[in-house]
Chain A
Amino acid sequence: MRFSPEDVEILAGILEEAPDYLSNIEEQILALEKGQEKELLDSIFRSFHSLKGIAGFVNLVPIVEVCHRAEDLIKELKSGKRTKSPALIDALLEAADFVNRVLHRLREAMAGYSGGVLEVDFEDLGERDVLAKIEQIPPEEQKTEEAEEPLPVIDRAFAEETLHDFLAELEDNLVQAEETLLALEHSPESETVSTLMRAFHSMKGGARLVLSLAPQETQERLLRAIEEIAHRLEDYFQEIREGKATITAEVCEEAYRGIDLVRELSRLLKTGASGAPWEAVNAFLRPQREQRSEEVRTQTESGTGALEAFGNIMEQFLELLDDKLCSPSLAGEELQRLAEVVQRGLVRLGRENDVPLVEEVLKKSQEGDTEALKNLREQLARLFEDIQAAKDSACREEAAQQTSPARTPLQQGTAHTVRVDSEKLERMLNLVGELLALKNATRSFVKQMERDSSPLLPEAKNIASGLERLSADFQSMVFSLRMVPIGELFSRYRRTVRDLAKSLGKKVTLLIEGGETELDRTVIEKLSDPLTHLVRNAVDHGIEPPEEREHLGKPPEGTIILRAYYRGAYTFVEVEDDGRGVDVQAVRVKAVDRGLVSSDEVLRLSDEEVLSFLFLPGFSTARVVSDVSGRGVGMDVVKTNIESMGGQVGIESVPQRGTRVWMRIPLSLLVVRGLMVRIAHERYILPLEFVRETVKVPPERVREYFNGRFVEVRGEILPLVVAEEVLFDTRVDLRGKGFDFNLVPLVVLGGEGETCAVAVDAFLEEGEYLMKAVPEYMRGNGVVSGVTIMGDGSIVVILNPPQLVQW
């Protein structure tokens, strides 16, 4: 075969992509020998299908043909036309081997390619043998019942994909519907009603679309239910929009019920679990069921394409003609436009002879000759009946023949947003890590060159700065992919607040501020639990019942604010309420009760310090344990989750005015600018945000005083921590350590008003490091905040200075 230079480019792509499909195929075929699961068949089918697809781009006939036949085999196996046999498994394996051989041959040819036309010979690779082997698989006893081949153009893989898309879209629609509904309860505006209608409308349309792909029976039932519920809800709001009905609490309740049902059904579709709430679904739909079932049935009936397409157009033409007969003043353009299409349809169906009839209709309609028009309409109707009759017989023929039109390789639609597998994002992040390691290595390499006054220095600097720029861009791009606006998370609590407030007989509005603030995906995930606890607390304990509020001169409706904003290198996320506030004295009493502080001490603590007790496990001042909150679990979860991200939490409260809980999260958890040091032959990283300066001092300047050590740095006496002692729990004699030039390398750490010197063995390099979280048990009481993986694959620990020096 000959390939043009453009083809060769595509071939390179094929060589890159094909191994993905081939890697598992052999194992899967072998697994098929043992058991025949549907997923296995689907997966093998998809692999062959994809291979065929990509090979089709350059008309790589041997692969296309063999894969096509293999695909057919799987399809027949799935439909039950064939049963599994050793010969069939052999044939599939051969097919996969053959594809491998072709790719191998291609790879060889490409290796020696130097431009121009590429000639590759596949003749001797045994294509004929493979195809013959497939042909020769002994036929099974013919199954008498007709194999089901739902829609000729669609394969299962695509149907699955569509279902997947549908579920993702459904989730979006549900969230939107819920949000809109909440907004609607507060201010019924027609625009809001329309948005709501559109959300239900999309759900319905999506369900119908998936239904048209002949899903499996269990899926079909679920989809049908979703479709009907969405339809019902759409109707509700349509009536409201048209002014036939008004928004009442019952309607909203009903809508929430529908949304919850759809969500549950969608979950079952996604997981394949059983136990659908059919009773609830039926109860929801009962009033409309009877009338609707008829409609749905007629819709899903299949028919033949061209005739049915024409029938649809013709029907519209006749309808419009009727309208025209009733009111002759209607504009002629509509009729004209439809007539054009009708004529083309007639031509397409080989009924050119009838085209003049349509011409005639247009002419008479222009002349306003109603009588002639009536006559023509009758003729057209008869013609239509004729065509319909032909269609019915064609339908029967088609059912008998079971033809399947040729396929073309699946091409991806140009989507405007792409859903990316989070695993891929994770892998990209690892690449960023490697890039950073490379950048750090380059930097120290350039420094070395500088010291050696290498003649290549200017060039090396150029390359290094290019690499630096590129990795910075790439890094911020990858991180931005991982950023999600927090508003999506915030708005989830609208429903929580509403339901909770209702069950407690309170009135609460949730306000969202800074919803556009973007945070890393993983941070958003970790914020979800803490926010749930805080929001529940606020509704349950914070906001007072309406009567009490009025009595206090507050508006009866309480307000909870979810707020996010950036400040410095941090993102702040806050939950604020205008409720009764926390009783600081009660917390003081409880803290003493629990033996956390003595009664003397507790009086010396500031309110803020006292309030921080609330974050301790099992600490709750709620007098009654309700089913909502107050069991004393929750606040500690908030603290743990936030601190695991290197963040901090705090609480402020003013009696009768409200409570504000703030969470401070580092902007970038991912990249740490740090100083790498050596401590006892190991490398460690100290985050630069804590490093004030580095100095080297003679050991004499270190003084011991009681059990502590101090060092004088530029006339300032600082407490000294020897890192090796903390990390390895030993005692180190600084004089006997043998430092370079007998000077002790010190890192002066500063933060939160405290300063401390840390003695290390040597300073190594400064750089950026991608931080990976480590499991709790590896954190060494918080001394370790994470690890980074170096370019050579070694792992270096990133220290957490505040814990190291025990501030």
Chain B
Amino acid sequence: MVKVLIVDDSSMTRNFHAYILRSAGFAVIDASDGVEALEKLYTEGDIACIITDLNMPNMDGLTFIRRVRQEPLFADVPIIVVTTLDDATDRKEGIRAGANFYLTKPIQPSVLVESVRIAVGG
């Protein structure tokens, strides 16, 4: 199964996105901030796609993305940033930091699933 890492400080959002992706046949791992997410990246291995929020305590999304990209091991893992309609600057920052593209909340379940499918390819 294709493993997806969901990083979000809202447990509801995590559970919700996880539920959708699991229903679509993905394996889902989640983390509530950047620090935990990095930990999961190293410990879980073979994560095929990362979906991350930007606004988080401890380590925010931008820092997290930069850290992921610095690590050669994860340089090619697709990263999808989840933002709201109103943070136009944030999402550009996200892309600049190393994300592949962003999704705007609220995300239609089918769009979330398809975006991940596109991101992981095949």
Report A's interface with B, CB cutoff 8 A.
151-154, 158, 162, 165-166, 169, 198, 201-202, 204-206, 208-209, 211-212, 231, 234-235, 295, 299, 302-306, 308-310, 312-313, 316-317, 320, 331, 333-334, 337-338, 340-341, 344-345, 347-348, 407-408, 410-411, 413-417
Contacts and interface: CB of A to CB of B under 8 A. Distances in A.
Contacts of B9: 202
Contacts of A410: 19, 23
Interface in B55-114: 55, 57, 78, 84-86, 95-96, 98-114
B3 to A, nearest CB: 13
B118 A341 contact: yes
Nearest to B121: A344
Contact of B114 (A309, A337, A347): A309
A308 B121 contact: no
A316 B115 CA distance: 13
The 7 closest A-B pairs by CB, nearest first: A305-B110, A309-B114, A413-B15, A212-B106, A165-B12, A344-B121, A305-B114
Q: Which of the listed residues A212, A305, A407 has the most CB atoms from chain B within 10 Å of its own CB?
A: A305
Nearest to B84: A205
Contacts of B38: none
A205 B11 contact: no
Given A206-B13, A308-B110, A345 B98 contact: no
B4 interface: no
Nearest to A197: B55
B66 to A, nearest CB: 12
A235 B86 CA distance: 9
B115 A309 contact: yes
Interface magnitude class on chain B: 35 or more
B102 to A, nearest CB: 7
A337 B32 contact: no
B118 A313 contact: yes
A298 to B, nearest CB: 10
Contacts of B118: 306, 309-310, 313, 341, 344-345, 348
B55 A408 contact: no
Contacts of B107: 212
Contacts of B110: 152-153, 304-306, 308-309
Contact of B10 (A205, A231, A344, A417): A205
Interface of B: 9-16, 18-20, 22-25, 28-30, 32, 55, 57, 78, 84-86, 95-96, 98-115, 117-122
A167 to B, nearest CB: 10
B16 A209 contact: yes
B35 to A, nearest CB: 13
Given A201-B55, A408-B22, A417 B11 contact: yes
B11 A313 contact: no
Contact of B106 (A165, A299, A341): A299
Contacts of A151: 108-109
A559 B13 CA distance: 40
Contacts of B101: 312-313, 316-317, 338, 341
A269 B103 CA distance: 28
Contacts of B11: 165, 169, 413, 415-417
Contact of B111 (A205, A303, A345, A415): A303
Contacts of B109: 151-154, 305
A209 B14 CA distance: 11
